Amino acid sequence: MKKLISLTILPALFLFVLVSCQDDFLDGPAQGVLSEAVLNNQNGVEASLIAAYSMLDGFPGGGWAAGGSNSVLGSMASDDAYKGSEPGDQQPMTDVELYQWATQGTDNYMADKWRVVYRSVNRANSTLNLLNGLEEGGISASDRQRIEGEVRFLRAHYHFEGYKVWENIPYYTEVDEDFRKGNSEPALPLIIADMQAAINLLPIDQNSIGRVTQWTAKAYLGKLQVWAGDYAGAKATLDDVVNNGPYELRECFHDPFTAGADENGSETVLAFQASTNDGTTNGENGNRNDRLNFPHGGSPFGCCGFHQPSQNLVNAHKVDASGLPFLDGSFNNSDVEVSTPVDPRLDWNVGRDDVPFLDWGLHTPNWIRDRAWAGPYSPKKHIYEQGSDARSSVGWNNAHLSSQNTHLLRYADVLLLLAEAEVELSNLDRAREIVNEIRTRAGNCAQGPEEGPIEVAISDPSITWATYQIGTYDDPWTDQGAARAAVRMERRLELAMEGHRFFDLRRWGIAEQVLNQYISVEQTRRQYLTAAAPYTERHNIYPLPTVQIELATVDGEQRLVQNPGW
């Protein structure tokens, strides 16, 4: 059991109290409520803080679209993935994919995500209020500072989750008493301010695995600065992280996506610390909100076949004679075959027929729920190895619940954000060096044969299912547009199926162009995509949930204003 997650069920313990059948129970305090008196000590504050951390995966309280991995709103809405599964199952996911976001189902999905975002924010603010209520001497100055730093970080992160989806959101602090708050004030500067405050409060390192540090906050601040278009600020922040921080790329691309003692390695910046077989009755601390995203049918997992990689994503892994990607989009002119030279990351990102699926054996056609509907590929990147002890022993279809961490920010992402800033600042060759570092690591290992080790050299003669090849950009970059395209492609290949793609396309201002072109081709492969609505400017921000607009209406005044076009 992971040290951090071991306390996530603590607040729930207070809910299971027996209520007397006598009338005088009405005179006592409400049962099942955590009173301030109970928590008014350092242990109580620490337990409240852990409860705030536990929301990093979007559970409890969220539906499938509320997961911290953003597999629905950040991946299925992009050119990385189809909804998958079969027609009719989780129709709102299909509506997200088809850009039909005004349906009742997608409104419910938005409500799920909103509820999780602000339940998470509330846990952070409640912790800060508890901390502020502790008398001097009840906690050391260093612990007080550390906890405030962790809370400010989490509050910023959870608001940023909402910002990525809706942009125009209310920002809540510990002093807010009325939840019916408007969304007219820009949120991103407030998020950045909280993160900067966290940097000043957090320690350099922590004793407990999974807790954020000053370096975590600096890396995250650099990400926020890139989003804000403050490329000079982002470069200064991320240069510090790269030159002086504790992070480095793991030897193998797949290393961060394994379960076990080494999973919180040098590439992990922020991750949900999943836990199984820890005493919960239904595996609640596992990766619950991503449990549908496993191969279906005849696979060892038995269900459910959602979040299937797109043909476009598979084809994007093609490389030319120099081992470089096709930046002009011509990769999609034909589909990948065994003889097609491909980036070895393809078979870490995607499950393909006749290719070993980690150590689970060969992927076969009967692993797919409905090939005619959603294609021949399975999600693979976040699946645990059979040889690990990550699988839950309890819960519905327990093969889907594991203790494998979900990365929310990893060092490869940080490096590519720095490369992006360098391009925008016209430091093109520094950006090239960073991209080459990522590509060099990608060539260290590839999916190996089912009877052998998973990590093998890409030249291993036992690899008969693919032609792996990868190269680096050896000529100086002199054209900013070409450099920008190379960095953006590298983000797609490196971060595929991790929930970033839609948000990247949107913030780059190219979502309308890329996604309409994607749909025009993919609807010839997946017939149901002919029902997709044209992607227009209004799709750059998701609609706010109707119920929240209604709840924030006071005396006829709508304090929450719906996003444009919805």
Summarised one tens digit per residue, pLDDT across range 77-97 is 999 999 999 999 999 999 999
pLDDT, position 27: 36
Angle of helix 214-227 versus helix 188-201 axis, rounded to 10: 160
Least confident interval from 282-286, 438-442, 453-457: 453-457
pLDDT of 38 > 90? The answer is: no
pLDDT, position 260: 84
Written as one letter, the residue type at 165 is V
* Sole residue written with tokens 């337990």: 47
pLDDT of 4 > 50? The answer is: no
Sorted by sequence, the CB contacts under 8 Å of residue 128 that are 6+ apart come out as 148, 151, 152, 155, 174
Q: Taking CA 259 as the corner, what is the angle to CA 257 and CA 265, rounded to the nearest 5 degrees? A: 65
Angle of helix 428-442 versus helix 411-424 axis, rounded to 10: 150
φ and ψ at 487, to 5 degrees? -65, -40
Burial 103-112 (b: 16+ CB within 10 A, else e): eebbbbbbbb
Q: Which one has a higher pLDDT value, 38 or 510?
A: 510
Query: Distances from the Cα of 93 to the Cαs of 88, 98, 167, 230, 500, in angstroms?
Result: 10, 9, 21, 34, 17
Model pTM score: 0.93
| 483, 429 contact by CB (below 8 A) | no
Q: How confident is the model at residue 108 (pLDDT cuts 50, 70, 90)?
A: very high
